[in-house]
Amino acid sequence: MSTASLDVASARAAFPALSDSYIYADNAGGSQCLGSVASRLTDYLLHTNVQLGADYSVSVASTKRVAEGVEAARKLLNAASVEEVAFGGSSSLVAENIARALEGDVLEGEEIIVTGEHETNAGPWKKLAARRGLTIKFWHATQYPESPNNTYAVGLRLETLLPLITAKTRLIAFTACSNILGSIVPVQEIVKAIKAKAKEVGVRKVETVVDCVAYAPHRRIDVQAWDVDYAFFSVYKVYGAHISVLYTKLDSLKTSLSPLTHHFLPYDLTSLKLQPGGPGYELVYSTTAVPDYFQSLTPAGTIEAAFAAIAQHEQTLLQPLLTYLKSKEGRGVRIVGDENAGLSRVPTVSFVVVGPQRLDSRAIVKIFDQAGNIGIRYGHFYAWTLIDSLQPKIDHDDSVVRISLVHYNTVQEVEKIIELLEKALA
């Protein structure tokens, strides 16, 4: 069955910020917000801004709206139950909440495997290890064999993970997509391999926690198919308000996690045990607009069909950008991550200029800033360990240039980006 093509003009019309000529190309740092999200947020505050759970009519309406927001998050995760869903102020916060709740179910001497990607899904585990006498191991990105001439063409590979798993492995934390490399990790395949290796070596208990922040705007999250234990993403990276969503498998809720909430609350068998204090109710309700938007993008009216169309359109953005950057290898341009377009990659593209006349990343971005109607960025983007592992070494303060596109970007915008790159690299 063929994939329906994306009507980009119609998709863009849902975002008030896109009505002018500004080119938003820093989307991995945060997408633009749907007009419908802002409308629902405002409507909640103006008409149902009361505490939940009371019997009076406005509270009943408010409670219903927040429940609808939780259901919307369940849809975006494809979780089996709303009881597996919680909200938090940020993805960094919900990851820290998992680590705190898990503290009583780890044993001294056990091991946690993390990646060098965004520190959100590494920092909490490093701190837990320090508190509880655990060992941290790193699953580092390694060079793709098909790119022998580019040492920065790296990605997470299953064959480098499996040797790290021992009988002491307790948890493996990784990304579904890198916010710098742009490469998609085959989560379902990885989790299946982890479980098989864990059984082989006799692990006491192994769980997986997947950072979906850089994945969620580009591909369908499916926690049931993936069989992960924990997953999270930031709604503001997926066209919504600044709030995050956490998935926790029911089995883990029952056997691994201590509650972070008040002792008298009946939350022990729901993800609300990881939600100390209520999130912004207006933010939760506004999330209802996000799955509605995805379902509106194709005639099929499903989130799955929307992401299939999004992935197809994003390749039309990614291909010319990668082709241009690869054409500048003689100028010293090196793509950081997978050099090739394809469905295993999203249009988050990072690069450096190493020589023969090295060019600082900040100098390239300055050319874009001077253009005045376009936004890209340079930096380490909180993936400090990944940047630190690259060879030859990259200065953390300068790091990489990152251009991050999503489905509402156009081919014409990519042409403008390439035009400015040509000026910067001259």
pLDDT level of residue 268 (50, 70, 90 thresholds): confident
Q: How many Å from the N-terminal Cα to the C-terminal Cα in the chain?
A: 45
Is 414 in contact with 18 (CB distance < 8 Å)?
A: no
- C-alpha 368/C-alpha 374 separation (Å) is 6
CA angle 123, 128, 132 (to 5 degrees): 155
- C-alpha 38/C-alpha 385 separation (Å) is 36
Per the structure block, which two tokens stand in for 317? Answer: 């953005």
Confidence at residue 4, expressed as pLDDT on a 0 to 100 scale: 80
- C-alpha 129/C-alpha 134 separation (Å) is 4
pLDDT digit string (tens) for 29-64?
A: 999 999 999 999 999 999 999 999 999 999 999 999
- C-alpha 279/C-alpha 66 separation (Å) is 10
The pTM of the full predicted model, rounded to 2 decimals, is 0.97
HEC string for 175-193: ECECCCCCEECCHHHHHHH
Confidence at residue 2, expressed as pLDDT on a 0 to 100 scale: 53
Q: Left if phi > 0, otherwise alpha if psi is -120 to 50, otherwise beta: which for 247?
A: beta
H or E element in which residue 61 lies: helix 57-77
H or E element in which residue 163 lies: none
Place of tokens 């990605």: 155
| High-pLDDT (> 70) share of the chain, % | 100
Q: Left if phi > 0, otherwise alpha if psi is -120 to 50, otherwise beta: which for 30?
A: left
Confidence at residue 1, expressed as pLDDT on a 0 to 100 scale: 41
pLDDT level of residue 356 (50, 70, 90 thresholds): confident
Is 111 in contact with 134 (CB distance < 8 Å)?
A: yes
The sign one gets for the Cα dihedral 386, 389, 390, 396 is: positive
Is 79 in contact with 222 (CB distance < 8 Å)?
A: no
Place of tokens 């050099």: 339
Q: In what order do the strands lie in the sheet with 111-115?
A: 85-88, 244-248, 230-234, 207-211, 169-175, 111-115, 135-139
pLDDT level of residue 378 (50, 70, 90 thresholds): very high
Q: Left if phi > 0, otherwise alpha if psi is -120 to 50, otherwise beta: which for 291?
A: alpha
**Which domains are assigned to the chain?**
8-32+302-424 (3.90.1150.10), 57-292 (3.40.640.10)
pLDDT digit string (tens) for 131-152?
A: 999 999 999 999 999 999 999 9
- C-alpha 106/C-alpha 172 separation (Å) is 13
SS3 category, 219 = coil
Confidence at residue 278, expressed as pLDDT on a 0 to 100 scale: 87
pLDDT digit string (tens) for 273-320?
A: 999 988 999 999 999 999 999 999 999 999 999 999 999 999 999 999
Mean pLDDT of the chain: 97
Q: In what order do the strands lie in the sheet with 377-379?
A: 333-336, 348-353, 400-404, 377-379
